[in-house]
Amino acid sequence: MIDIFAKYDGLKAAIAGLTQNTPRSPFDVVIERPLSATVGLIEGRETLLFGTNNYLGLSQSKAAAEAAIATVREEGVGTTGSRIANGTYALHRRLERRLAEVFRRRHCMIFSTGYQANLGAISALAGKDDILLLDADSHASIYDGSRLSHAQVIRFRHNDPSDLDRRLGRLKDHPGAKLIVVEGIYSMTGNVAPMREFAEVKKKHGAYLLADEAHSFGVMGEHGRGVAEQDGCEEDIDFVVGTFSKSLGTVGGYCVSNLDGMELIRLCSRPYMFTASLPPEIIASTLAALDEMQARPELRHRLQENAKRLNHGLHGLGLNASPHVSPVVAVTLDAVDQAVAFWNRLLELGVYVNLSLPPATPDERPLLRCSVMAAHSPQEIDRAVEVFGQVAKELAA
Amino acid sequence: MTDTVESISSMIVQKLLANPKVPRDIDGDSKIVEDLAFDSLAVMNFVMEIEDTLDVSVPLDKLADIRTIHDLAVCLAGLKNGNFP
For B13-55, the pLDDT digits (tens) are 999 998 888 888 888 888 988 888 888 888 888 899 899 899 9
Q: What is the mean pLDDT of residues A31-48?
A: 96
Task: Return d(Cα A229, Cα B53) in angstroms, integer.
Answer: 36
For β-strands A328-332 and A351-352, DSSP reports them as unpaired
Weakest mean pLDDT among A64-73, A93-102, A196-205, A363-372: A363-372
State the pLDDT confidence band at A177, using cuts at 50, 70 and 90.
very high
Question: Which residues fall within 8 angstroms of residue A350, CB to CB, at 6 or more apart?
Answer: A45, A46, A47, A48, A387
Interface of B with A (CB under 8 A): 39-42, 44-45, 48, 55-61, 84-85
Burial class (CB in 10 A: 0-12, 13-18, 19+), A170: middle
| Cβ neighbours of B53 in A, within 8 Å | none
Residue range A325-340, pLDDT digits in tens: 999 999 999 999 999 9
**CA-to-CA dists, residue A285 to A71, A77, A189, A375, B38, angstroms:** 9, 13, 29, 19, 45
Evaluate if pTM is beyond 0.90.
yes
Distances (CA, A) of A320 to A187, A188, A333, A394, B15: 17, 14, 7, 17, 28
* Per-residue confidence band for A363, with pLDDT thresholds at 50, 70 and 90: confident
Q: How many contacts, defined by CB atoms under 8 Å, are there between A and B?
A: 40
Query: Do the chains contact at A153 and B48, CB–CB below 8 Å?
Result: no
Number of neighbours of residue B42 by Cβ within 10 angstroms? 17
Asked whether the predicted pLDDT for residue A361 surpasses 90, the reply is no
CA dist A103 and A28 (Å) reads: 37
Distances (CA, A) of A209 to A40, A198, A202, A243, A258: 39, 8, 7, 18, 12
Res. A243: pLDDT tops 90: yes
Look at A163 and B83; give whichever has higher pLDDT: A163
What residue type is assigned to position A185 of the chain? I
Chain A residues in contact with B59 by the CB 8 A cut-off are 152-154
CB A174 to CB B84 under 8 A?
Answer: yes
Residue % of chain A over a pLDDT of 90: 91
Q: Where residue A83 falls among pLDDT bands split at 50, 70, 90?
A: very high
Short-list A328, A321, A310, A325, CA closest to A380: A310
Backbone angles phi, psi at A40, to 5 degrees: -130, 160
The pLDDT of residue A64 is above 70:
yes
User: Quick check: A357 pLDDT over 70?
Assistant: yes
pLDDT at B84: 58
pLDDT value at B85 more than 60 = no
Nearest of A307, A306, A305, A301 to residue A322 by alpha carbon:
A307
Pick from B46, B57, B58, B76 the residue to mutate for testing the A interface (most A CBs within 10 Å): B57
Mutation for testing the B interface, residue in A7, A156, A170 having most B CBs under 10 Å: A170
pLDDT of A92 higher than 60: yes
**Pairing state between β A178-183 and A131-135:** parallel
Residues of B within 8 A of A171 (CB-CB) are 57, 85
* Residue A44 confidence (pLDDT): 96
With CB atoms and an 8 Å threshold, state whether B41 touches A364: yes
- The answer to whether the CB of A98 falls within 8 A of the CB of A294 is no
Asked if A157 lies within 8 A of B40 by C-beta distance, the reply is no
Q: Which of A17-31, A75-89, A165-179, A291-305 has the lowest mean pLDDT?
A: A17-31
CB A359 within 8 Å of CB A393:
no
Confidence of residue B83 (pLDDT cuts 50, 70, 90): low
CB A313, CB A385: distance < 8 Å: yes
Residue A298 above 70 pLDDT?
Answer: yes
CB A279 within 8 A of CB A78: yes
Residue A331's beta-bridge partner residues?
A: A321, A368
Q: Is A218 left (phi over 0), alpha (psi -120 to 50) or beta?
A: left
Indicate if the pLDDT at residue A283 is higher than 60: yes
Strand-strand pairing, A45-49 and A351-352? parallel
Residue A218: predicted pLDDT: 96
Provide the CA B35 distance to its chain's centre, in angstroms.
14
B31 has which bridge partners? B68
pLDDT at residue A208 tops 80: yes
Q: Which CATH superfamily is domain B5-81 in?
A: ACP-like (1.10.1200.10)
Average pLDDT over residues A160-189: 96
Bigger pLDDT: A26 vs A105: A105
Cα radius of gyration rounded to whole Å, chain A: 21
Q: What's the confidence (pLDDT) of residue B3? A: 81
Residue A171's pLDDT band (cuts 50, 70, 90): very high
CA A180 – CA A161 distance, rounded (Å): 11
Q: What is the pLDDT of residues A104-154, one digit of tens each?
A: 999 999 999 999 999 999 999 999 999 999 999 999 999 999 999 999 999
Mean residue pLDDT of chain A comes to 96
CB of A386 closer than 8 Å to CB of A68: no
Of the candidates A152, A157, A364, the beta carbon closest to that of B48 is on A157
Which of B44, B48, B85 has its CB closest to that of A152?
A: B85
